[in-house]
Structure 1
Amino acid sequence: MRPALLLAMGPGIAERLLGPPQRARLARLARTDDRLVAHDLAAPEPAVAAALATAEVLLTCWGAPPLTARVLAAAPRLRAVVHAAGSVKHHVTDACWDRGLVVSSAAAANARPVAEYTLAAILFANKRVLPAAHRYRTLRTHHDWLRELDGAGNHGRTVGIVGASRIGRRVIELLRPFALRVLLHDPFVTAREAALWGVQKVALAELCAGSDVVSVHAPELPATRHLIGARELALMPDGATLVNTARGSLVDGAALLAELSSGRLGAVLDVTEPELPPADSPLYDLPNVLLTPHVAGSLGTELHRMADHALDELERYASGRPFADPVRREGLGHSA
């Protein structure tokens, strides 16, 4: 069976997501015009409206338009949404679940580059690469680095993982080859589960107080806003580093900036609140901060991995098999 399929995502995304191998495979798996990409399903152009009316599957990615009840009414044959990215919360609405649509996500594929970025950040933080690089640029002469960096290094350090999300669990996996102690805080994980992963489950306060690096991987929910606040930051040891590749809202930005400005803590921040800090923000210039523009997730060639994952799911659907990575309504309350 080759189901009728419509691409629905933000402008310019499909061109990056689908390389020639992915487009060829898509043509084998589904009946679709891969040049037709829906950016707006609320007021679609005629060609999009016609494709939506016959589509059985939507292939979505970043910037996908919301699938409201009105949109679904114009898509009477729609049965599945295959999302070639992580969270589906921005476009899969209650109307989709009420309709009984099956939904898949490539969150597992997108977790890999975020976890790899995080691993690099942790190893660099414990090695004190950021302050050493800044000092090197400033001094530009011979210096006793062994003395200045005495106590640095990854051997025997403690890393705290906040949130056993897909990314958090992947980071735990990547840390296994290293001589690191790993603590975990996640209210939905049991101590036994944590032990099976080779980590120790602890309260958030204990994690912050006992970690050389604290890495945030919890979902963005009302309950997790400012999960890392002034109290948690104050508990972190002098010289510790906060890594945030989740969402800026999980960290109290004002409290963090105070700690960073004092020089007591360091930070690797791929996300902030707001997402683009003001032009005069000290975060751009502080020597103990690595600030990146939300690039830890898939980009460049990594987008093709998400596309391949989505096409694997499409192949399962077309052959009558269940998705390998389904998204379920009941799980969205504590996931990204």
Structure 2
Amino acid sequence: MTSSSARPRLVLAMSAEVCGELLDPVVVRRLAAVAEFDPGLVVTDFADPAVREALAGAEALLTGWGCPPLTGEALDRMPALRTVVHAAGSVKHHVTTACWERGLTVASAAAANAVPVAEYTVAAILFAGKGVLAAAHAYRRDRRPPAGPAAFGRVGNFGRTVGVVGASRIGRRVIELLRPFDLRVLLHDPYLTKDQVRELGAEPAGLDELARRSDVVTLHAPELPSTRHLFDAARLALLPDGATLVNTARGSLVDTEALTAELVRGRLHAVLDHTEPEVLPPGSPLYELPNVLLTPHVAGSLGNELSRLAHAAVAELERYAAGLPYADPVRPETLSRSA
């Protein structure tokens, strides 16, 4: 990879709100050292006549949430464009086939965004094994602790089995973070061999086997036609009584109606940061059930974690300006089966 100048001309393309959160003074100084750009110019519409001149000379785009799609028509306005660096995870919302047809290179901060999702997931797994959600609800209801350790039931994380579905960046990070704990980790990923699964520190398992054996199942598969309702009524029925399903991936991986039925019965527990629909209807029982922890898509980067994304993106731009390959490139051949 080579850049056409020591300091390529860069344009910011994302929502103004996101830009304000990402570009703190430290990031702006670091960007200014590597690229020529106007920190006050944030493009939200590639067809806006006011940004025509800036886009015409842009060699690089720094994108974020809210970036418009990079269609062929949009790219016609950027004849000098050579690369796109995304200061977030998935690029599917704005990187189109036109980008690959024109030979653009693309990088993202997906690895950085995987960190907080994996941390959230590990916290959910450990809390699930410990029975924290049920204990908290009981304590709130009864206003007194249970009478003795036996009253908590069969809880604890010693020797529990965790099933990880998908060896994505997040799935791999979860496995890595679980290593210090006394847990057995199963992994299902159709793109890995059994030896590759073992190299990651997990035991290979078919999807149904994983469902039957796991105390906690955590989903890290991409949203594809083949993964829609991966956990349907039949597969949810395979989970042991009292098992917990953690979904920080995509709501479409789970049949919401079937899961709701299991949760209403009280047979399963769930930690859901994604649902289908993304916002459940007001009457959904999942808002109130004591065996459900429902969060509004907060596992990914928020607050000061956005700085990690910004610095990861700037590091890639530094590599580009130095003529080095990206550390975390996005490749068209793998994009179709990634998040």
Shorter-chain TM-score bucket reads over 0.9
**One-letter amino acid of the structure 2 residue matched with residue 169 of structure 1:** R
- Report the Cα distance in structure 2 between the residues aligned to 1:291 and 1:114, rounded to whole angstroms: 15
- Report the Cα distance in structure 2 between the residues aligned to 1:70 and 1:329, rounded to whole angstroms: 20
Partner of 1:33: 38
**One-letter amino acid of the structure 2 residue matched with residue 106 of structure 1:** A
Aligned residues: percent identity? 64
Partner of 1:18: 23
1:98 has 2:76 as partner: no
- Report the Cα distance in structure 1 between the residues aligned to 2:131 and 2:83, rounded to whole angstroms: 48
Partner of 1:44: 48
Aligned-residue offset at 1:149: 1.6
Of 250-259 and 192-201, the range deviating more from structure 2: 192-201
Task: Give deviations 1:230-252, integer Å, cap 9, x for gaps.
Answer: 11110000000000000100100
Indicate how the Cα distance of structure 1 residues 164 and 145 shifts in structure 2: closer, same or farther if over 3 A, else same. Answer: farther
Give the one of 204, 217, 220 matched to 1:217.
220
Give the one of 159, 163, 167 matched to 1:164.
167
**One-letter amino acid of the structure 2 residue matched with residue 304 of structure 1:** S
- Report the Cα distance in structure 2 between the residues aligned to 1:141 and 1:73, rounded to whole angstroms: 67
Aligned-residue offset at 1:147: 1.7
Partner of 2:113: 110
**One-letter amino acid of the structure 1 residue matched with residue 100 of structure 2:** W
Aligned-residue offset at 1:185: 0.7
**One-letter amino acid of the structure 2 residue matched with residue 317 of structure 1:** Y
Task: Give deviations 1:250-293, integer Å, cap 9, x for gaps.
Answer: 10000000000000000000000111111111111000000000
Aligned-residue offset at 1:58: 0.3
Matches within 5 A, 1:108-187: 108-187=111-190
Partner of 1:248: 251
- Report the Cα distance in structure 1 between the residues aligned to 2:168 and 2:147, rounded to whole angstroms: 41
**One-letter amino acid of the structure 1 residue matched with residue 38 of structure 2:** D
- Report the Cα distance in structure 2 between the residues aligned to 1:268 and 1:291, rounded to whole angstroms: 6
What is the number of equivalent residue pairs in this alignment? 334
For normalisation by structure 1, the TM-score amounts to 0.98
Partner of 1:58: 61
- Report the Cα distance in structure 2 between the residues aligned to 1:106 and 1:228, rounded to whole angstroms: 29
Partner of 2:236: 233
Indicate how the Cα distance of structure 1 residues 143 and 20 shifts in structure 2: closer, same or farther if over 3 A, else same. Answer: same
Say which SS state the counterpart of residue 107 (structure 2) adopts: strand
Matches within 5 A, 1:184-223: 184-223=187-226
- Report the Cα distance in structure 2 between the residues aligned to 1:311 and 1:148, rounded to whole angstroms: 53
Say which SS state the counterpart of residue 6 (structure 1) adopts: strand
1:332 has 2:335 as partner: yes
- Report the Cα distance in structure 1 between the residues aligned to 2:273 and 2:145, rounded to whole angstroms: 33
**One-letter amino acid of the structure 2 residue matched with residue 322 of structure 1:** P
Give the one of 8, 13, 28 matched to 2:13.
8
- Report the Cα distance in structure 1 between the residues aligned to 2:242 and 2:218, rounded to whole angstroms: 15
- Report the Cα distance in structure 2 between the residues aligned to 1:226 and 1:2, rounded to whole angstroms: 47
Say which SS state the counterpart of residue 91 (structure 1) adopts: coil
**One-letter amino acid of the structure 1 residue matched with residue 58 of structure 2:** A
Task: Give deviations 1:193-233, integer Å, cap 9, x for gaps.
Answer: 11112211111000000000000000011111101111111
**One-letter amino acid of the structure 1 residue matched with residue 109 of structure 2:** A
Aligned-residue offset at 1:142: 4.3
**One-letter amino acid of the structure 1 residue matched with residue 44 of structure 2:** H
Indicate how the Cα distance of structure 1 residues 142 and 100 shifts in structure 2: closer, same or farther if over 3 A, else same. Answer: closer
Partner of 2:299: 296
Listed as ranges, the gaps of 5+ residues in structure 2 are 1-5
**One-letter amino acid of the structure 2 residue matched with residue 44 of structure 1:** D
2:146 and 2:152 in contact (8 A); partners too = no
Partner of 2:3: none
- Report the Cα distance in structure 1 between the residues aligned to 2:207 and 2:16, rounded to whole angstroms: 40
- Report the Cα distance in structure 1 between the residues aligned to 2:218 and 2:276, rounded to whole angstroms: 17
Say which SS state the counterpart of residue 159 (structure 2) adopts: coil
**One-letter amino acid of the structure 2 residue matched with residue 245 of structure 1:** T
For normalisation by structure 2, the TM-score amounts to 0.97
Aligned-residue offset at 1:35: 1.1
Say which SS state the counterpart of residue 215 (structure 1) adopts: strand
- Report the Cα distance in structure 2 between the residues aligned to 1:145 and 1:8, rounded to whole angstroms: 58
**One-letter amino acid of the structure 2 residue matched with residue 33 of structure 1:** D
